[in-house]
Structure 1
């Protein structure tokens, strides 16, 4: 059973991402205890549930325990174990500190009594920075705008709770991985409801911040990776409905929703080329070790409007790699900076 309590009917006033990230409070056990209301997504080939779900739902749980005039400004997360999408997740919020200007919460996500994910989240009271402010922000690069008539999805499924459109990798011909930048547009599908408030937009951003993130090092090094299109035991191509859908897509649309290695594989299949002799992927499954999000303007954006994400990797070595991400609104305002370390 993937949820502790039978999910209620879907609220048509909610966006898909609101419905997916909905939490159920367990006040009869503990007022600071929550669980996922609906089943969570397990990406093909991943070791567990999509990491963005744990990031977003721990944030959502913590937001339920703070005063309305406080807003998140940072969260520091660690992935401990792979989450099982067939088992309910229990989120326990600990009220570490509730001060006049700052509040701190830690949240543990547990399954079968074990911690699978943990985060420490800091909130700040609105307008507590004083009248005199020191302000600056990096500018958003000039990039092609998102295509409004395209319905890309990082999950390869039109039922995904958000859309993404990938852009060509900047400096892709450079011999130096740290000179390259992977980029995409993304937004929540549909319209986030007014009742969700700014908290729903923050949780949606937290969920999407894990999209396309972990594979940045693989892409900048041009390494092959695990592909859900390939049977790992036979090295043969999986003949499934998703592959047929990809084969029917135009190349420009395909580039927006699949990784370069999969794009090349699909292109060769469409051309009738023999891919049975292709070498196995050079890089195995990558695992996120931690994930940090700094929210710069927590109430000044909508997650259901296009946001631009740019990622780069300053370092990799000793079986690990570091990735940085900046997220902007469509009009160029920096709204979040994210950091992730991955195991290679």
Structure 2
């Protein structure tokens, strides 16, 4: 593993402070607040460490309540809602400076056989044919109006190899396009065989680009271009089939609606061999500066 991935794994390795309490570090992100994907992943790690062995995360539902302070630790309190024969439910509240900033409900299931069907995976170019994040940012460096945005974005995504199928929102602001964005991603290194770790890393990455289709629909370049401001409001994920975060995953994202200063993103994540692994939905604040 590279240094960036080591740092990310260390960030997500929340410290146990009590039987059902944990403490997580924070760090800066592209925006001057804690990255939402970090809080989702840390809370899911905390919940997972109180779950009976052999039960895998199958869904999470989360709300972002306040902006996180990157200069302060985050306390995670886990509530054991239920341990049933097949399912385990946990609720996690994240607190900073004495106030809740986030809460998450997660469900875990013991493996069982069942009916099996899925939607088909879209046909897209393979990741090896696409620009890396560094190459894409270099190509469009003249688009950014926010100082040091490209450098901060590179640092924030250093542990993730993320490649757009087609142009990202910042490539051509002012030109409305179909509200759909596809990216390939994987973490940049080989991981141990820990299912919870892989799920948590995918949750971390899932918050990076899910509102891009909202920007595309309106020809907005995004946070680095300075023509919108935004933040995640809520986040939901359903984990259908096993996956590995160190293998290529296709993130197919679209936006069916934006209104009232909010935009909705919904997505599916496929493994490279065509298995539908995850469904994701997120609503976020998307405002035009006045």
Asked if 2 retains the 8 angstrom alpha-carbon contact of 1:324 and 1:338, the reply is yes
Q: Secondary structure at the match of 1:157?
A: helix
TM-score when normalising by structure 1: 0.70
- Aligned residue in 1 for 2:150: none
Which structure 2 residues correspond to residues 301-312 of structure 1 after superposition, within 5 A? 301-312=243-254
Asked if 2 retains the 8 angstrom alpha-carbon contact of 1:16 and 1:189, the reply is no
- Aligned residue in 1 for 2:8: 17
Asked if 2 retains the 8 angstrom alpha-carbon contact of 1:151 and 1:158, the reply is no
Q: Secondary structure at the match of 1:213?
A: coil
Residues 1:18 and 1:226: Cα distance change in structure 2 (over 3 Å): closer
- Aligned residue in 1 for 2:183: 184
Q: CA deviation at 1:193?
A: 2.4
Return the structure number with greater strand share: 2
Asked if 1 retains the 8 angstrom alpha-carbon contact of 2:176 and 2:219, the reply is no
Asked if 2 retains the 8 angstrom alpha-carbon contact of 1:326 and 1:337, the reply is yes
Note the alpha carbon deviations across 1:274-320, whole angstroms, 9 max, x for none.
xxxxxxx442x1121100011011xx221011111011001111221
Q: CA deviation at 1:149?
A: 9.4
Aligned CA RMSD, in angstroms, stands at 2.6
Q: CA deviation at 1:151?
A: 4.9
Q: CA deviation at 1:169?
A: 5.3
- Aligned residue in 1 for 2:77: 92
| Aligned equivalent of 2:235, options 287, 291, 308 | 291
TM-score when normalising by structure 2: 0.83
Q: CA deviation at 1:119?
A: 0.5
- Aligned residue in 2 for 1:201: 198
- Aligned residue in 1 for 2:283: 341
Over alpha carbons, which structure has the higher Rg?
1
Q: Secondary structure at the match of 1:66?
A: coil
In structure 1, distance between residues paired with 2:261 and 2:156: 35
Q: CA deviation at 1:222?
A: 0.7
Note the alpha carbon deviations across 1:316-340, whole angstroms, 9 max, x for none.
1122121101111111111001000
Asked if 2 retains the 8 angstrom alpha-carbon contact of 1:15 and 1:191, the reply is no
Residues 1:342 and 1:137: Cα distance change in structure 2 (over 3 Å): same
Instruction: Mark the runs of 5 or more structure 2 residues left unpaired by the alignment.
Output: 138-152
Q: CA deviation at 1:42?
A: 2.3
Q: CA deviation at 1:158?
A: 8.7
Q: CA deviation at 1:148?
A: 7.8
- Aligned residue in 2 for 1:35: 23
In structure 2, distance between residues paired with 1:340 and 1:80: 14
Asked if 2 retains the 8 angstrom alpha-carbon contact of 1:308 and 1:330, the reply is yes
In structure 1, distance between residues paired with 2:156 and 2:259: 37
